[in-house]
Chains A and B, each alone.
Chain A
Amino acid sequence: MSDAIVAEGLVKKYGDVVALDGMDLSVPEGTVFGLLGPNGAGKTTTVRILTTLLKPDAGHATVAGFDVVRDARRLRSHIGASGQYAAVDDHLTGAENLETVGRLYHLGVKRARQRARELLERFDLTEAGDRPVQGYSGGMRRRLDLAGALVVSPPVLFLDEPTTGLDPRARASLWEVISELVATGTTVLLTTQYMEEADRLADRIGVVDHGHVIALGTADELKDQVGGDRIELSVTSAADLEAVRRTLAPLAVGELQIDVTALQVTIPVTGGAAALTTALGHLTAERITVRDAGLRRPTLDDVFLTFTGHETDEKIRETVR
């Protein structure tokens, strides 16, 4: 199987800011690659270079066999892109938006119209199709934007944070649409800030920080390295924190994190719910009062902590504030 997307040593600078610093990628045909990272990590810049919107300062990339700089014009007939913000026209109807895109792919009037109807039906927008987009919900707009990327059924698809800012229900419905798409054999490069999203949709995940990939693997491989689930406990007094650490240290895979101000302890564990039961049993035996306890999946912050030794910049800013 050959690679549909290959990027080698991409560098992009905006003035003094280095957005991409040696970005390497390879995505085999028919697979989904998730680019996972916080805001400003270089995800969008990567997508913009691969979709011919930006020229890299150094390095080179090919998509579907076309060089993104030299063959940019020909490449555009072979890709579809859907961005962070739904790039749809408020005053036009859903059908008109898709028709315009179809015409610009040079499908011809009749075929463009026909294709617009097909896509509206597929994305559950048939009823809304003849209404101006102005009245659409956020989720409907994203679906329409995604439909716009699929007008010519391109072999390679770029989805830049397709669900950012959506409510959980809209997100779930968009995930379903993307999963179906992937089943048809399209190669997809997806960027996301959500571990859960990458986990659900991507075959392989690249963790990005400061403009390059710092960890690469399947969701399971990464999660194993990050340490699987976490138990999060809150106690009522700071005096208990040390007791909790002593009691639960044997259960932890990796290091416990103690947040003194929030009176919170985070313990990486394996074994899920059973580990939580065991931990609570130990604490009860030691007569430590627990205010709140829960089990959670690793978050992007956990992945970051593990691979970079620092939390995402955003999280650091929040903490400082």
Chain B
Amino acid sequence: MNTLRMALADSMTITKRNALKIKRAPDMLGGVVLLPIVLVLLFAYVFGSMIELPGMSYTEYLLPGIFVMTITTSAQITGYALTLDLQKGIFDRFRTLPMSPSAVLTGQTFSDLITNVTSIVTMALVGLLVGWRIHTSPLEAALGFLGLLLFAYAFSWVTATVALALRTPEVFNGVATIVSLPLIFLSNAFVDSAPARATEGDRRMEPDLHAPPGHARAVRQHQPGHARARRLAAAARGASVDTVVARAPGRVRAAGHAAVQESRQSVNPREAGE
């Protein structure tokens, strides 16, 4: 078997193993379903009624931000699951097998796509209940959600990198919270975090000075991608993530960097250079 085919086959084996784990212990999935429900309801009703925006409801402004925030949290499952396997010696067992070494990581991130899709679907449904609406064509909406899923996948690799550097579930959980919490508030998920740039009332809703005009702007505002772009910019500013990544072992570091870099560029090429 050639290397690539072996890597794919092994990744699928690990994915299947993890999918079985989700099936047997749906409580882990329970968190992924409940958290979005709680967050969407909490923010939509607590802040949604207090903050007013010109031209649109705050709920509709907020929802994409909640989407990204929740997906950031659920992508941390990747790192957490890896630290659990590390601690139990399951990695050692795998590493003595003639398998592709990368399959443990790719398999884990693949199976976490299942949890991420679950999260996204739940959030969209609850969002629709509280008044969030899709204002674009189904194709554009689908692309928006696909972008969100890609971000989740990329962030899975970031948490995997951090997990491999930190090694124990307890430490990982602590660090993940410390790092992700400021990132969430630095982003414009809740409020526009770059008001200094906005000179006109109209601009207040448009944090990116280079943003395309007209209907594209509308797409960004009503699709999950909007907040995502800002989130990634915030991630770039949050040097802590990069510092941790820099200390991780070579191969994984490269993978983590590539994932972050790629998603930054694909989402918003201009902001990657910030």
Contacts and interface: CB of A to CB of B under 8 A. Distances in A.
B175 interface: no
B20 A81 contact: no
Interface in B85-99: 88-90, 92-99
B6 interface: yes
Contact of B93 (A73, A91, A148): A148
A105 B98 contact: yes
Contacts of A89: 17, 21, 90
Q: Chain B binding site: helix, strand, loop or mixed by DSSP?
A: helix
A83 interface: yes
A66 B75 CA distance: 40
A83 B20 contact: no
Given A85-B88, A100-B17, A103-B13, A53 B96 contact: yes
Given A53-B92, A106-B99, 4 more contacts: A91-B20, A103-B13, A104-B103, A145-B93
Q: Chain A binding site: helix, strand, loop or mixed by DSSP?
A: mixed
Interface of B: 1, 6, 9-10, 13-14, 16-17, 20-21, 24-25, 88-90, 92-99, 103
Given A85-B88, A85-B89, A106-B6, A91 B98 contact: no
A236 B121 CA distance: 77
B93 A81 contact: yes
Contacts, number: 70
A288 interface: no
A104 B92 contact: no
B27 to A, nearest CB: 10
Interface in A79-110: 79-81, 83-85, 87-89, 91-92, 96, 100-101, 103-106
Contact of B97 (A74, A105, A145): A105
B152 to A, nearest CB: 23
B224 to A, nearest CB: 31
A53 B21 contact: no
Contacts of A83: 89, 92-93
Contacts of B90: 87-89
A76 interface: yes
A226 B225 CA distance: 74
Contact of B17 (A73, A80, A84, A96): A96
Contacts of A91: 20-21, 24-25
A132 interface: yes
13 contacts: A52-B95, A74-B98, A83-B89, A87-B90, A89-B21, A91-B20, A91-B25, A96-B20, A100-B16, A101-B97, A103-B10, A103-B13, A104-B10
